[in-house]
């Protein structure tokens, strides 16, 4: 594993005066009696790449899903660009248009081609002229290296190709925040690298991103800040190198030693 210098952050984690793009204050999420998130507070600056690591079932994915209101919250609050995120309000649509989400299982629309997947919202919902939307989609396909697959249906593509089309779909609405929910967990090992490379390119462009991942090496290369979560709480956070080389918390140490051993 290399120890390259991480990409320079476009903005520091807590630069004074600049309002954070995302702010979580004591967020609590419960499913029935089970508490999934137990008071999570976090502030993300523009241009920051934050990676979430930790054991399965500790609420990392749920945290992302609360940010764009796919899940409602039972306590605390979430501010996106200073605006309160409320899952069941009408304004949630406006918040979601500024947040691109990439799912573990891609969730491409199987009845549409790759190109139609990417242009659906720009053409049908935002009423952009078809030519412009398609041209932009093809540019995005070049960027994620699937330009030759524009007319293929999801069922005809490999998992890695599908996930890169899903990234293009998320980018098509010019989001100011990208969220990746275990983007490579459902992929064959040989296609993981292609997808990670695309995500690293996006990080280098200075995009603001939240990434839930089990790929620790990738996380170290790509992020400015690593957040270790366990049992619905943020246990430890900091720059990736110091976190990986010198974890302060006992649970972080245990987790890292178990995943880095393999």
Partner 1 sequence: MTTGIADYAGYFLQGAAITIWISWLALLLSAVVGTIFAAAGLSSLWPLRVLATAYVETFRSIPILVLLFFCYFGLSLVFSINLSPFVAATIALTLELSSMMAVIVRAGIQSVSRGQWEAGLATGMRRWQVWRYIIMPQAIRVILPPSVGVYIAALKDSSLASIIGYVELTKTGLLVRESTGRNFQVLVVVAALYFVINYSISLVGAALEKRFQIVH
Residues near partner 1 (CB under 8 A): 68, 70, 93-94, 96-97, 99-101, 103, 105, 107-111, 120-121, 124-125, 153, 155-156, 169-170, 173
Angle at 47 between CA 45 and CA 48, to 5 degrees: 60
Continuous H helices in the chain:
60-67, 92-97, 114-120, 130-143, 159-171, 189-204, 216-222, 240-245, 250-261
Q: How far is the CB of 95 from partner 1 (least distance, A)?
A: 8
Nearer to partner 1, 180 or 228 (CB): 180
> Using CA atoms in the order 146, 149, 152, 158, what is the torsion angle rounded to 10 degrees?
-50
Nearer to partner 1, 78 or 243 (CB): 78
Q: How far is the CB of 228 from partner 1 (least distance, A)?
A: 26
Nearer to partner 1, 37 or 102 (CB): 102
Provide the total of helices (H) and of strands (E) in the chain, helices listed first.
9, 10
CA–CA separation, 111 and 15 (whole Å): 45
Q: How far is the CB of 5 from partner 1 (least distance, A)?
A: 33
Nearer to partner 1, 6 or 175 (CB): 175
Nearer to partner 1, 91 or 248 (CB): 91
CA–CA separation, 172 and 191 (whole Å): 23
Q: How far is the CB of 173 from partner 1 (least distance, A)?
A: 6
Q: How far is the CB of 89 from partner 1 (least distance, A)?
A: 12
Q: In what order do the strands lie in the sheet with 49-53?
A: 99-102, 177-181, 209-212, 49-53, 225-230, 233-238
């Amino acid at each position: 594993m290399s120890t390259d210098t991480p990409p320079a952050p476009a903005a520091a984690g807590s630069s004074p005066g600049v309002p954070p793009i995302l702010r979580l204050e004591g967020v609590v999420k419960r499913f029935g009696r089970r508490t999934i998130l137990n008071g999570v507070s976090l502030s993300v600056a523009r241009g920051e790449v934050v990676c979430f690591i930790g054991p399965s079932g500790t609420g990392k994915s749920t945290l992302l899903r609360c940010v764009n209101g796919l899940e409602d919250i039972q306590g605390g609050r979430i501010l996106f660009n200073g605006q309160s995120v409320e899952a069941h309000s009408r304004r949630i649509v406006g918040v979601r248009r500024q947040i691109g989400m990439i799912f573990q299982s891609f969730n491409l629309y199987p009845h549409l081609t790759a190109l139609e997947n990417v242009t659906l919202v720009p053409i049908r919902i935002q009423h952009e002229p078809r030519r412009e939307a398609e041209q932009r989609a093809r540019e995005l396909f070049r960027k994620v290296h699937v330009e030759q697959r524009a007319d293929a249906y999801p069922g005809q593509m490999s998992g890695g190709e599908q996930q890169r089309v899903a990234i293009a779909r998320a980018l098509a609405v010019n989001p100011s925040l990208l969220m990746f929910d275990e983007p490579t967990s459902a992929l064959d090992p040989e296609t993981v690298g292609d997808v990670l490379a695309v995500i690293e390119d996006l990080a280098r462009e200075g995009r603001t991103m939240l990434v839930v991942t089990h790929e620790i090496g990738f996380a170290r290369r790509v992020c400015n800040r690593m957040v270790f979560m366990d049992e619905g709480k943020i246990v430890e956070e900091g720059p990736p190198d110091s976190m990986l080389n010198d974890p302060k918390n006992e649970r972080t140490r245990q987790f890292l030693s178990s995943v880095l051993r393999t």
